[in-house]
Structures are given as structure tokens and as C-alpha cells.
Structure 1
Amino acid sequence: MDRILLIEDDDIIGEMICMYLKEEEFLVLRSHNGQEGLAALHDFKPDLILLDLILPDFEGTDLCNSLRSITPVPIIIISSNARVSEKIEAFTVGADDYLCKPFSMHEMKARIQALLRRFKQSHPPEVQQLPVQQAVTVPPMDLNINLEKRTLYVRGESVEMTFSEFELIRLLFEHPERVYRREDLINALRGFDSYINDRAIDVHITNLRRKIEINPKEPKYIKTVWGVGYKFVL
């Protein structure tokens, strides 16, 4: 049974979501504020987090950033704020999807199931032995990427990435020197980021450069092809 952590201070909305998900055979724990949510993360060990952006003790984006630094599980933002800038900020700090209130419970369930399915496919149980060839090292670059475990090491240091950031670096890495238009990258990520657009792609690229480049302003690996898009350089 999949475990859902709901961080929502509104009692009416919180109870509606809990009731619906329990009827759909999810195990649900509701936290009323950010502190409760952080504590529940360790004790409850959720498979997915539903996070309201407006909480009494935390800015939602700050909490999302904190949660992402602790856990790789999918995070769906639920908010009454439909501004594109708000959605982009949420994706930037680690959200995997964004639902605007009011939303359909059936749509919420579909998005939860889609994210859980992709997450489980990309995070096999630790007991499974991975074939050696799945760990790919790129000499002489200081990058080591494991496509099965979805891990990236830069100069020996583990790098934390959002689900969408890894999907982007995986796509670029698997096709070095290929120039991807922003439209190509949007289409590739649309199944993971519901509100992906040109600006969100640029934000993801900027974040990846900060994480893997020695000098993000003069990138060595993720190159801009002016007027077209981006490419990964070996």
C-alpha cells in the first residue's frame, strides 16, 4: 500500500483529500503544518508528498526545498495560486507536479499514480544487484552517472537532483553532441512536469550547471546553442 503524506492546514480540504485517498486504498497521514510534516517524513516514510504552499509556520516553497534536500520521493504542490511564476518557483525548489485548487480528486489520483509509477521504475529496491554496465563513467570528466539508481556524482560528491532535473541530464547525457531545441526538451519532460515551458527548461538548465559545472557562467558540459537550445558535450 502506497503511503501519502499530506501537509495541509485547511481542515475541510485536508479531510476531503484524506477521505478520498483512503477510499482509494492509499495509506494517508496528514500533517497540519511544516514542522509536523518534517517530523512525519522520518517516522512515516511516505512514498509521495502532497504539499500545500500556504502553511502557518513555513513558506511552502521553503518547505518544499527542505523536503527535497531530505528525500527523493515525488512532491506534488497543491495551491490556489495559479500564477505561472509561482509554478516555476515550485518546480525550481524541487516539486514534481503542481495542482491548482479547486481540483478534481480523480485528476489528483491519476497524477499521484503516474508519479509513483515512474518513481518506482527509476528507484529499484536496494537489494537488487545492478549490472556493472549500468554505472557509466565519462572520462576525463569528473561525472559519474548511474542510470538505474538515478545517482550523479560530480568530482566524487553526490549531487541531489529533482526528478525532472535527472530526466533532463539523462536525456542530454545519453545523446552527447545532439542539439535539443527547447521544444524537444519540453515534450520530453511534459509527462513529469505538467506546467513545463521555455522558462522552466532554462531554470532546470541553470540549476544543473550550478550542480555540475566548475564555472556555471562558462559551462563545459551543458552548452547553449544560441537561437536553438542546448547540448551535452563530452
Structure 2
Amino acid sequence: MDKVLVIEDDVMVGDMVSMYLGEEGFRVMRKGNGEEGLHAIASFEPDVILLDLMLPDMDGLELCKQVRETSMVPIMIVSMKNKVVERVSALTVGADDFLSKPFSMHEMSARVQALLRRAKIYQARVQEASMEEAEFHQEVRSTEISDTMISLDADSRSMWVKGGLVNTTYSEFEIMRCFVNHPGRVFSREDLINTVRGFDSFVTDRAIDVHIANLRKKVEENPKQPKRIRTVWGVGYKFIL
């Protein structure tokens, strides 16, 4: 049974969501503030998190950022805020989806199912690629790019830049692995969306741009003048050795 953690301080909204998802066959836990939510992640080990942005004890974006430091669990932001800048901010700190209040319970459940489906597809792809990873693992583990050492470890899903461990979301790691494995190849935004999420994704072109901007901050000496992750205007992006 898939588990959903609902971090929502509005009792009415939280109870309605919990009841609906419970009837849909999920095991649901609700917490009313950020601190309780963080503790529940470790003990409950949810498969999906529904996170309100406006919590009584902390900002939802900060909580999302903290979760991403240790976990790749899919996170869907649920909020009254619906401006583009707020959606982009949520994606930037690691959220996977954004649902504005008020919302349809049916749509909310469908999005939760989509997040779970994509997470399972992602895990399946990792397992299917294990043999291929083993063949070029040594090369990928230590990919030297002129004066910048970028190393990817597929087993631990870790990235090092100049010997220092750099945190990445699983979307960022997949994009970087795609680049490192195919230097010089131009990837359209659609290519990267399919690489990261699959064909039923809610991810947009703008989300890919956000991930690229985050990766540049992590691997480029000057993110404003990138030398490695280049923009190919009108097409997409490519990685230069």
C-alpha cells in the first residue's frame, strides 16, 4: 500500500484530503506543522508528500529544501498561491508538482498517482540500466573535464565537483548523467523532460530551464557565462567537454 504524508495545517482541508486518499486505497498520515512533518518523514517513510506552503511554524519552501537534502521522495506543493514565480520557486527547491487551492479531489488523486507512477518508472529504469552502468561505471565515476573534475556515482546517485560532494535532486542527476554520457549532443527540452519524468509528466519547459540553471550553479565556475552546459538557441542544451 502506497503511503502519503499530508503536511497541512488547515484541519478541514487536511481531513478531506486524508479521507479521500484513504478511500482511494492509500495509507495516509497528516501532520499540522513543519516540525511534525519532518519527524514523520523519517518514521512514516512516505511514498509521496503533499505539502502546504503556509505552515504555522515554517515556510513550506524551506521545509521542501530540507527534505531534498536527504530524500528524493516525490513532493507536491498544495497552496493558495498560484503565481508563476511561486511555482518556479517550488520547483527550484526540489518540488515535483504544484497544485493550487481550491482543487478537485479527483485531480489531486490523479496527480498523486502520476507522481507515484513516475517514481516507479524511474526506479525500474535505474534497475534496467544497472548492467549498462557497470560497463562504463569506471569512466562515469571519474569524468575529468579540463580543470574541473565532475564525478558521478550511479550506485549512490552522488555527484562530486572538484572533489566536493554536491547535492542534486534526482532530476538534476539524471540530466547531468545524460550530458556526461553524451557530450556534444544537443538535447531538446522535450528530450530532457522525457529523460527525467516520462511521457505522462506535468513537468514543463520552464521546469527544465530551472534545473539547468541549478546545475550551472553547481558545476560552472561562472554560471552566468557557462562553458560546460551550453544553450543551443531555439533547440535546447548541450554539454561541452
Common fold: TM-score over 0.5: yes
3-state DSSP class of the match of 2:184? coil
- Give the alignment of 1:1-234 within 5 angstroms: 1-123=1-123, 130-131=130-131, 132-133=134-135, 135=137, 136-137=139-140, 139-141=143-145, 142-147=149-154, 150-182=157-189, 185=192, 194=202, 196-198=204-206, 200-226=207-233, 228-234=235-241
| Structure 1 residues 139 and 195: CA distance shift in structure 2, 3 A | closer
Separation of aligned partners in 2, 1:75 and 1:102? 18
Q: Which runs of 5+ in 2 are unaligned?
A: none
Check the 8 A contact 2:188/2:235 in 1, yes or no.
Answer: yes
Deviation at 1:81, TM superposition (A): 1.6
Q: Look up the equivalent residue of 1:194 and give its one-letter code.
A: F
Structure that is richer in helix per residue = 2
3-state DSSP class of the match of 2:223? coil
Check the 8 A contact 1:74/1:95 in 2, yes or no.
Answer: yes
Identity rate, percent: 51
3-state DSSP class of the match of 1:70? coil
| Structure 1 residues 171 and 123: CA distance shift in structure 2, 3 A | same
Q: Which runs of 5+ in 1 are unaligned?
A: none
Check the 8 A contact 1:68/1:94 in 2, yes or no.
Answer: yes
Separation of aligned partners in 1, 2:194 and 2:71? 26
Separation of aligned partners in 2, 1:208 and 1:189? 14
1:75-115: per-residue Cα shift (whole Å, max 9, x none)?
A: 10011222111101100011001111122222222222222
Paired residues, number: 232
- Structure 1 window deviating more from structure 2 (161-170 vs 41-50): it is 161-170
3-state DSSP class of the match of 2:210? helix
Separation of aligned partners in 2, 1:206 and 1:84? 17
